[in-house]
Amino acid sequence: MTDGLALATRGLQKRYGARPALVGLDLSVPTGVVYGFLGPNGAGKTTTMRLLTGLIHPDAGTIELLGRPFGRGDRHRLFEVGALIEQPSFYPYLSARENLRSLAAAGARTSRSRIEELLEMVGLRDRARDKVQTYSLGMKQRLGIAAALLSDPRLLLLDEPSNGLDPAGIVAMRETLKGLAASGKTVFVSSHILGEVQQLADVLGIIAAGRLVREGPIEHLLEGEGLIRVRVAPAEVVAARAILDAIVPGTTSKAEAEGGWVSISIPPDRAAEVNRTLASAGIYASGLETGNDLESLFLELTGGDDTANHEGTFFGAAGSGTTAAGRDAGSGTGGDA
């Protein structure tokens, strides 16, 4: 059943020659949430994004956008969808403002006040007259996010939106996307930055080898992935590991590469027990952290890894941030992937 879903795929398949990219992908994205779409490189994330925006067509299966089937000949329906997919395709000799006006003229009717509002939101108001060819990569990323929001879409598809953003910019972007979801819009975010997705998403979908391996509300998926990290003196790491391993038979703890941190997979509400057990053995923790470990779940399901670089600035709805250069990323519903 797809009632109440902003986006749904059923049995979605796509091959590139002899290589399968998707082998029966079933996604169920509720309305009014931030949906985190996770998977290692090569899992099929970008192929999925291209299918959802009509850039390529599936070999089999169906797509529903905003409650209606989406297929060949339905590109006009993307006026209700904003997308940011990989490389931007702006006119380098035009300004940011002129580029947004050009995009607006080719799509749904957009007021000039909307363009100014978006330039302010992404922190480009003061550079709106400058040619895009003078922009840093991080600035182009922010312009891409503005382009995706031009038509005030009900559904927003974002492929690696935090590429090129520094920590302050990522926080501002997170607040903005959460605000959009709270207003009833649906935000679909494809990413491999696990820590950011864990803070941003309401619902997760994890794919591996072109197939969905887990989907659901993030708090439900992480219920069995509790983690406690304890920092001890480097000379006491081996002894601390042995003690922590004995707390729950079969629970694996690990010493991290630096700093004397030891991690144990155990519910966070047992942190006091962990601390007391170490102290009774004469090992006193200088730091203790608890949380739910998305990384462990991700690796268990996919065997993937998480590497990323984030620089740049994004001004969220609150309108504050800091400036730094960053890497380039995608823009618009017609970006390449």
**Is the distance from CB of 172 to CB of 316 less than 8 angstroms?**
yes
| pLDDT attached to residue 259 | 66
Global confidence as pTM: 0.74
Q: How far apart are CA 132 and CA 97, in angstroms?
A: 10
Encoded amino acid at 39, one letter: G
| pLDDT attached to residue 320 | 43
**Mean pLDDT score of the chain:** 81
In this model, does residue 29 exceed pLDDT 70? yes
Report, as an integer, the average pLDDT of 188-202: 89
| C-alpha angle 155-158-162 in degrees, rounded to nearest 5 | 140
Q: What per-residue string of b and e applies to 55-74 under the rule 16 or more CB within 10 Å gives b? A: beebeebebbbbeeebeeee
| pLDDT attached to residue 90 | 92
| C-alpha angle 268-274-277 in degrees, rounded to nearest 5 | 165
| pLDDT attached to residue 263 | 80
| pLDDT attached to residue 94 | 96
| pLDDT attached to residue 242 | 85
Copy the structure tokens of residue 200: 């941003």
**Is the distance from CB of 35 to CB of 49 less than 8 angstroms?**
no
| pLDDT attached to residue 87 | 67
| C-alpha angle 10-25-211 in degrees, rounded to nearest 5 | 155
Copy the structure tokens of residue 242: 């042995």
Q: How far apart are CA 312 and CA 165, in angstroms?
A: 4
**Is the distance from CB of 200 to CB of 193 less than 8 angstroms?**
no
Rg of the chain, C-alpha, whole Å:
22
* All domains in the chain, ordered by first residue: 5-221 (3.40.50.300), 226-292 (3.30.70.100)
Report, as an integer, the average pLDDT of 188-204: 89
Comparison of pLDDT for 228 and 6, the residue scoring more = 6
Give percent of the chain with pLDDT exceeding 90: 40
Report, as an integer, the average pLDDT of 158-181: 84
Report, as an integer, the average pLDDT of 4-33: 94
Comparison of pLDDT for 265 and 36, the residue scoring more = 36
The residue among 149, 178, 161, 123 whose CA lies nearest residue 324 is 123
In this model, does residue 39 exceed pLDDT 60? yes
**How far is residue 5 from each of residues 1, 27, 43, 152, 291, measured CA to CA in Å?**
9, 10, 23, 19, 30
Confidence of residue 225 (pLDDT cuts 50, 70, 90): low
Q: How far apart are CA 237 and CA 296, in angstroms?
A: 21
Report, as an integer, the average pLDDT of 6-10: 95
pLDDT tens digits along 40-85 = 888 999 999 999 988 899 999 999 999 899 887 777 777 789 998 8
Confidence of residue 19 (pLDDT cuts 50, 70, 90): very high
pLDDT tens digits along 231-283 = 898 888 888 888 888 876 555 555 454 568 888 877 778 888 889 999 999 99
Partners of 128 in the β-ladder = none
The residue among 183, 173, 175, 166 whose CA lies nearest residue 148 is 173
The residue among 85, 75, 48 whose CA lies nearest residue 331 is 85
Comparison of pLDDT for 149 and 309, the residue scoring more = 149
Q: How far apart are CA 337 and CA 334, in angstroms?
A: 9
pLDDT tens digits along 95-124 = 999 999 998 887 777 888 999 999 998 889
Report, as an integer, the average pLDDT of 211-232: 84
In this model, does residue 7 exceed pLDDT 70? yes
- Long-range pairs for 178-183: beta carbons < 8 A, 24 or more residues apart: 178/34, 179/316, 179/317, 180/156, 181/32, 181/33, 181/34, 182/32
| pLDDT attached to residue 336 | 35
The residue among 290, 283, 281 whose CA lies nearest residue 260 is 283
Confidence of residue 302 (pLDDT cuts 50, 70, 90): confident
